[in-house]
Homo-oligomer: A and B are copies of this chain.
Amino acid sequence: MKLAALHTDGGTQAAVGTDSGWVPLPFADVAELLGADGWKTIVASALDTPPELIPDDDAKFTSIITTERKVICCGLNYSDHILEMGRDLPTHPTLFAKYTDTLTGPTDAVSAGASEAVDWEAELAVVVGARLTQSDREEASSAIAGYCVANDVSMRDWQKRTLQWFQGKNFTASTPLGPWLTTADEFGADPHFTVEGWINGERVQYGDTATLVFSPADLLSYISTFTLLRPGDVVLTGTPGGVGQGMQPPRFATPGDRIRTSISGLGTLENAITV
């Protein structure tokens, strides 16, 4: 099942995908839907007697999460990239936070704003489907609502101003998320995905989530030991090699460039960089 959030005249609305278009659901976004009791029944009922059908061409996708949720990111998580850099594998995940204001839609422009070092980070995003606290790996795995694509666009100049990455990772509307959530039941247990990133049609990133040091379930379980996770919270699982700051010389996106992120079976984000 594919779940998205669409722009409407008055705001945003959750929707479920069908072969012939999108059926709107009475929630502002996917997070609110996932937090509702019996949401699967609500979706089934809407599919049974669709109140409306929005053709694919008319569907204006926004970030699947628009209401306030936890967006927790993991850095340094692809073992092949860590090992090729000559580093040891980490014993604990490197985590940092994004505010929901940072999220934006799958085809929205991303403003460079006051940054002169806009970088791309193609990432698998995992969306939480249940409350998790002190959860083991098994409980965490069964609480994964589904997966989508993220580009953790990073303002490297701001990120490196201090030891803490926060400010370079929290520019308003700088993190495309989507294009929709594909629910976990579409895949087997512990699925893995290929993650790719492009700039202006040139593929610069490639990774396989089978090489993640910390899997989605590992991350949800670990995070749940110190903070509550709720339906609609999002965990970004890190980016493979090929980001601009790792190039010799470093290369960054500037206004006019287009960045693209694609994950096998989950879809594609394509975003222009603007001033």
Residues of B within 8 A of A75 (CB): 164
Q: Which residues of B contact A92 (CB under 8 A)?
A: 161-162, 167
B227 touches A171 (CB 8 A): yes
Cβ-neighbour of A226 out of B113, B225, B226 (below 8 A): B113
A151 contacts partner chain B, Cβ-Cβ < 8 Å = no
Interface residues of A in 27-84 (CB under 8 A from B): 68, 70, 72, 75
Contact B228 A162 (CB under 8 A): no
Encode A9-39 as 1/0 by CB contact (under 8 A) with B.
0000000000000000000000000000000
- The answer to whether the Cβ of A239 comes within 8 Å of any Cβ in the partner chain is no
Q: Tell whether, in the assembled complex, residue B162 and residue A93 are in contact, meaning their CB atoms are under 8 Å apart.
A: yes
Whether B162 contacts A227 by the Cβ 8 Å rule is no
Question: Which residues, 91 to 114 on A, are CB-close (under 8 Å) to B?
Answer: 91-97, 99, 101-102, 113-114
Decide if A90 is an interface residue (CB 8 Å cutoff). yes
Query: With A164-B96, A164-B164 known to touch, is A158 a contact of B101 (CB < 8 Å)?
Result: no
For A155, the chain B residues whose CB sits under 8 A away are 226
Q: Which residue of B lies closest to A92 (CB)?
A: B161
For A227, list chain B residues within 8 Å (CB): 99, 101-102, 170-172
Q: Chain B contacts of A93 at CB under 8 A?
A: 162
**Chain B residues with CB below 8 A from A165, complex form:** 164
A85 within 8 A of B: no
Query: Chain B: which residue is nearest A223 at the CB level?
Result: B167
Let me know if A166 is at the binding interface, CB within 8 A: yes
Residues of B near A158 (CB, < 8 A) are 226
Inter-subunit contact A96/B226 (CB<8 Å) = no
Our pick among B68, B90, B97, B161 for the contact of A170 (Cβ within 8 Å) is B97
When A171-B226, A226-B172 are in contact, do A166 and B95 touch as well, CB less than 8 Å?
A: yes
Cross-chain pairs A/B with CB under 8 angstroms, 12 sampled = A70-B99, A75-B164, A90-B162, A92-B161, A92-B162, A92-B167, A97-B166, A102-B227, A158-B226, A163-B163, A164-B164, A170-B226
